[in-house]
Amino acid sequence: MKKLKSLVVLGVALMAFGLIGCSSNNKTEEQSKTRIVETAKGKVEIPADPKRIVDISGDSEELILLGHNVVGTANVDSYDTSKVPSYMKDSLGDAKVVGHSMMETADIEAILACDPDLIIMSTRQEKIYDQLKEIAPTVVLKDNSNNWETKLKDVAKLFGEEDKANAWLDAYYKKAEKLGEEIKKANGKDTTYLTVLANSGSFMVFSDGGIGTVLKDDMKLPQPANMPKQDSITLPTVTMEGLSKIDPDHIIVIATDSDKADLKASSVWSQIRAVKEGNVTILNASPYFSQAYNPIGRELILESVKDDVIKK
């Protein structure tokens, strides 16, 4: 009888030890599922593999490109801020719009309703940080809205996915140069290209921003010699006469329907050399105005530009 009792006590002890061991292993596994990241607000512990990300920083395309699930976004169409850009409808269509990434605040209640396990924001929205960190672990990234490549690398660094981002960038730049060479072969290697946003009779010039850098930096297409300088994120503005003085061989115009009508009715526009020679490409303001500031949109522009500017 005593022997039986001893065996029972030993069995209970072994079970307890086993449970403690399991509990310890589970705790270690849980800890391994998080990572400590450096942010604009210091070190933050985040899920290593988040399942429900709310992004108000403007980095939703970067997250999608890296294979993450975005349930709330502030990547919106500049001309209809209730919707995601049309080219992202398939990738972000199920995500709830919770704000506009260029604004200083967002819809806190909508973010809460998304039940996020990670929130990504920019220093631009710093004043709502304390509210957001109460909902879920919150990462504050520096505002690199005018530097698309840095944006992608910063998001990749959060998850240790720098190699994935660099591989994508290498493929992108190779494709951009290849298509640029095809354009130069078709139109002449010295043909110059100017990209502008029509704006009620004047033009905002993409000198060192947006779609202008796709052509100049990525596709290596020549710009006119007398380009206006861009000193900040704000695009320089020229008049119709100023555009004529820049005198590009080919003009790419981003325009709303209203601005398209104004150009068609303008006698000055019709006398600009590139217009007279039929070397004008007109793209819709939505989504092209902001598309080049994000990686997926930027890649889509490559084929579009090639197809539109090569003389038929």
pLDDT score recorded for residue 282: 95
Which DSSP letter does residue 207 get?
S
Cα separation, 72 vs 180, in Å, equals 36
In this prediction, residue 90 carries a pLDDT of: 94
- Is residue 301 within 8 Å of 211, Cβ to Cβ? yes
Token pair of 181, please?
A: 């060479």
DSSP label at 87?
Answer: G
Provide the residue count of the chain: 312
Does 36-164 match 172-309 in CATH topology? yes
Helix (H, G, I), strand (E, B) or coil at 260: helix
Report how far residue 16's alpha carbon sits from residue 11's, in angstroms, rounded to the nearest whole number: 9
The predicted-structure confidence for 82-105, as pLDDT tens digits, reads as follows: 999 999 999 998 999 999 999 999
Q: What is the pLDDT of residue 82?
A: 94
Mutual orientation of helices 295-309 and 148-158 as an angle, nearest 10°? 150
From residue 217, alpha-carbon distances to 127, 194, 214, 267 in Å are 35, 13, 6, 33
The pLDDT of residue 108? 97
Give 214's DSSP letter: I
The pLDDT score that the predictor gives to residue 312 is 63
Q: How far is CA 203 from CA 240, 255, 268, in A?
A: 7, 10, 13
Residue ranges of domains in the chain: 36-164, 172-309
Residues of the chain with pLDDT under 50: 1-31
CATH code of domain 36-164: 3.40.50.1980
Q: CA distances (Å), 135 to each of 4, 39, 130, in order?
A: 54, 17, 9
CA triplet 228, 234, 240: central angle to 5 degrees? 45
CA distance 82 to 293: 19
Which residue type, as a one-letter code, is found at position 88? Answer: M
Q: Judge whether 298 and 148 are in contact, CB under 8 Å.
A: yes
> What CATH number has the domain spanning 172-309?
3.40.50.1980
pLDDT digits (tens, 9 = 90+) for 170-205: 999 999 999 999 999 999 999 999 999 999 889 999
Residue 204 DSSP SS3: strand
CA 193 → CA 33, 71, 231, 307, distances in Å? 49, 39, 20, 14
pLDDT at 3: 44
- Cα–Cα distance for residue pair 287/290, rounded to 1 Å: 6
Burial 168-178 (b: 16+ CB within 10 A, else e): beeebeeebee
